[in-house]
Amino acid sequence: MYPAPIETYFAPRTIDEALKCCAEAGDGAMFIAGGMSLMQAMKARLVTTRALVDLNEVEELSGLAKGPRGVTVRPMTRYRELAVTTALHGAMQAIGDAAATVGDRQVRNAGTIGGSLCWNYVASCMPNVCLCLDATLVLASLEGGERTVPIEEFLVGPLETARHDDELLIEINFPASKHHGVASAYKKYGGTVDGLPIVGIAALIEVDEAEICLDARFSVGGILPTARRFEGARDILRGRPGTSEAFAEAASAAADAIETQSDHVASAHYRKVLIRTLGRDVLAEAHARATGG
Ligand SMILES: Cc1cc2nc3c(=O)[nH]c(=O)nc-3n(C[C@H](O)[C@H](O)[C@H](O)COP(=O)(O)OP(=O)(O)OC[C@H]3O[C@@H](n4cnc5c(N)ncnc54)[C@H](O)[C@@H]3O)c2cc1C
C-alpha cells in the first residue's frame, strides 16, 4: 500500500531548524530518521501524518563523543557505525553487540538508535540495551526547551514513550564507569522473518582486581509492556566470583521474577526458558570481557 498523502516535507540542517519546522507544521507532524519502522507503518496506514520533518541532514544529531562524565551517543547514529566503533568497547559493548545483529545490512545502514528508542517496539534491541546501561535521554522542543528523562521513565509501553509529539530526542547519555573491570554484552534469540528477537538479554558486570563481582545489571526485551530490568541480579552476584553456577542462579531468578507473555511467536514458558539459558550466557560473556577473557 502507499502512504496517505503527506502535505509538507521539511529537510532541516540544524536542531533549531528541525524544532522550528515541527512547530510550523503543527499537530500531526512527525520526525523521520532511518524510516525503517515509520515508513512501514505509514505504508500500512497504521500511521498517517500531514508533515514529515526529515532528520537525515541534521549533522549535529549524528556521532558519539566520550568525555569524563560518560559517553554521549547522538540519536541519528546508524547501527552500522555502532556495530564497528571501538569507542564503546568495555562498559558499553552491548550497544555494538545489538547494533551488529539488527535486521539485515539495509536496516543497519539506515536505522538509527534514536529511531529505535522513540519507536519502542516490544522486541527491539536498543531500548533494552539502553535500559541495562542506565541511559538518560535529552529531549528538546521549541516551547519547553530541554529536559532530561531517565530511560526507565522514557520507555512506557509497546510503541509508547514519554516523548511529547513536538519533542526531538537530541542526546542519549551513558554514565562513565568508575572501574576498569566493567563490561557489557547483549544476545538475542528468535527466528522471526524480520530478525526481531523473541527475547533479548543485556547484562553488565563490574569486577574488582580479584575478579569478584562488584555490580551486575540485567535486562530483558521481547516482553510486555516494555523492556524490564531485573534488579535482583546485583544482589545475587555481588561479592561472588564469576562462576557458571552464579550466572545460572541469577538468570533463573530473573526468569522466575519477570512476567512473560504468550503470543503467536512463543509461549510465556518458552520465553522464561530463554531468559534462563541466554541470560546465563550473556552474564558469562560480560564477565569474560570485564576480566579481559
Ligand atoms: C526488516 C527489518 C528488520 C528489523 N530487525 C530489527 C532487529 O532485529 N532488532 C531491532 O531492534 N530492530 C529491528 N528493526 C527495526 C529497526 O531497528 C528500526 O531502525 C528502528 O526501529 C527505527 O529506527 P529508524 O531510524 O528507522 O526510525 P524511523 O522509522 O525513522 O522512526 C521511528 C519513530 O521514531 C521517531 N523518531 C526518530 N528519530 C527521532 C528523534 N531523534 N526524535 C524524536 N523522534 C524520533 C519517528 O517520528 C518515528 O515515530 C527492523 C526493521 C526492519 C524493517
Does residue 88 belong to any structural domain of this protein? Answer: yes
Q: Is 22 in the pocket of ligand 1 (CB under 6 A)?
A: no
- Best residue for ligand 1 mutational test, from 31, 101, 138 (most atoms within 8 Å of Cβ): 31
- Any idea what the CATH number is for the domain that residue 37 is in? 3.30.43.10
Euclidean distance between CA atoms 33 and 183, whole angstroms: 29
Q: How many CB atoms lie within 10 A of CB 279?
A: 29
Give the closest residue (by CA) to ligand 1 atom 53.
36
- Region of 183 (left: φ > 0; alpha: ψ -120 to 50; beta: rest) is beta
Among 101, 149, 146, residue whose Cα is nearest residue 126: 101
Q: Are residues 159 and 209 in the same domain?
A: no
Nearest ligand 1 atom to the CA of 78 is 25
Q: Mean pLDDT for each consecutive 10-residue tract of the chain (293 residues)?
A: 83 97 91 96 90 97 90 97 93 96 94 98 96 97 95 97 97 86 95 77 96 96 96 97 97 97 94 97 97 84
Looking at ligand 1, which residue's alpha carbon is closest to its atom 41? 169
Distance spanning both ends of the chain, measured CA to CA: 50
- Diameter of the chain measured on Cα atoms: 62
Domain that holds residue 20: 8-54
Condensed to tens digits (0 to 9), the pLDDT of residues 93-129 reads 999 999 999 999 999 999 999 999 999 999 999 999 9
144 and 110, same structural domain? Answer: yes
Residue 191 belongs to some domain of the structure: yes
pTM of the full structure: 0.96
- pLDDT at position 183 is 96
Model confidence pLDDT, tens digit, residues 252-283: 999 999 999 999 889 999 999 999 999 999 99
**171 and 199 part of one domain:** no
For the CA of 170, the closest atom of ligand 1 is 41
* Ligand 1 pocket, residue 32 CB under 6 Å: yes
CA–centroid distance, residue 111 to ligand 1 (Å): 6
Same-domain pairing of 14 and 47: yes
Helix segments in 64-150, DSSP class H: 79-84, 93-101, 105-110, 113-119, 125-132
β partners of residue 77: none
Say if residue 165 is in the same domain as residue 240: no
Is the beta carbon of 12 within 6 A of some atom in ligand 1? no
